[in-house]
Amino acid sequence: MIEKYIDSEYIKLDQFLKLVDLASTGGHAKFLIQEGVVKVNGEVETRRGKKLRSGDIVEVEGNKIKVV
């Protein structure tokens, strides 16, 4: 599992996917989220604006990244 540090209280899911290079653009992030391939803390997440905070784990196609 990879850890990614953020320097604010939270980051939105679509922005996080771009930050960690799991999505190349905002449109790509939107597509991944709408297709149901993104999980947050083990649950499928379909909201682009989901706020991620320290300790959350994002999983996309076998890649797991922990927000710290």
pLDDT band at 52 (very low <50, low <70, confident <90, very high): very high
pTM above 0.85, yes or no: yes
For strands 51-52 and 63-67, give the pairing: unpaired
d(CA 56, CA 67): 5
d(CA 51, CA 15): 10
Domain at 2-67, CATH homologous superfamily: RNA-binding S4 domain (3.10.290.10)
Domains of the chain by residue range: 2-67
Segment 1-51, tens digit of pLDDT:
889 999 999 999 999 999 999 999 999 999 999 999 999 999 999 999 999
Q: Which two tokens stand for residue 9?
A: 């209280």
